[in-house]
Amino acid sequence: MKESEAKYHIVVPGKIGLIKQILEEEKYKHQQTVEETDTYYNHPCRDFSETDEALRIRVRRTTRGEEIRVLTYKGPRKTLGDIKIREEYEVFIDDDELMRKILLSLGFSVVGIVRKVRTIYRGPKDCEAVIDYLENTKQYYLEIECSIDEINRIAERIRSCIEPEHRTYLEIILGRIERK
């Protein structure tokens, strides 16, 4: 499946309330706030930082006490302005620790762990917007996943509060330079 999304660094954290208000005006409804821990792996025979791929195990903890575990592969990014398009495949797993042991046994290695608090909004036309507090950096980010036109329209309304961010969260916490 292809995903189209844009990520923005919220450069005026005091305006998060305004961003939430604009999302609600645009018919985005708050779904839940969750804690996510993403553990990223590198392939034993190729460097995902060079091939621009990602493999991660995500553990999402909901306020209702549920834990959801997902193994995700992301292919190389293609960018159109602020928007990134890439192949993404996800599968739910029952046991993240067992999956970790399998990956490590196959020669994969852990390259980084990203921890965030994510506030999720669902919009019209299967759109999603999330406000992430990245615990590793103590900074806020906004991601919008939808059609290119919808992403651009929402971003324009909050342009004074955000800056485009082309790096992945893993690249941000590892201090890597953005890919072009």
Q: Is 89 a catalytic residue?
A: no
Say if residue 2's pLDDT is above 60: yes
pLDDT over 80 at 179, yes or no: no
The contacts of residue 9 (CB under 8 Å, 6+ apart) are 139, 140, 141, 162, 163, 164, 165
Question: In this predicted structure, what is the pLDDT of residue 105?
Answer: 98
Contact 11, 19 (CB under 8 A): no
Identify the pLDDT of residue 3: 77
| pLDDT at res. 13 | 85
Give residue 175's pLDDT.
87
Can you give the residue ranges of every domain in the chain? Answer: 2-174
Whether residue 156 has pLDDT greater than 60: yes
pLDDT score of 64? 87
pLDDT of residue 176: 64
Residue 4 contacts residue 85 (beta carbons within 8 Å): yes
- The per-residue pLDDT for 177 is 54
Q: What is the mean pLDDT of residues 45-62?
A: 97
Using one digit for the tens of pLDDT, what is the confidence trace for 30-47? Answer: 999 999 999 999 999 999
Write down the catalytic residue from 28, 40, 121, 141.
40
Q: In the predicted model, what is the mean pLDDT of residues 128-147?
A: 95
Q: In the block, which residue shows the tokens 């903890």?
A: 61
Which residue would you say has higher pLDDT here, 63 or 176?
Answer: 63
Q: What percent of the chain has pLDDT over 90?
A: 85
Burial of 116 (0-12, 13-18, 19+ CB in 10 A): buried
The yes or no reply on domain 2-174 and CATH 3.40.50.10440 is no
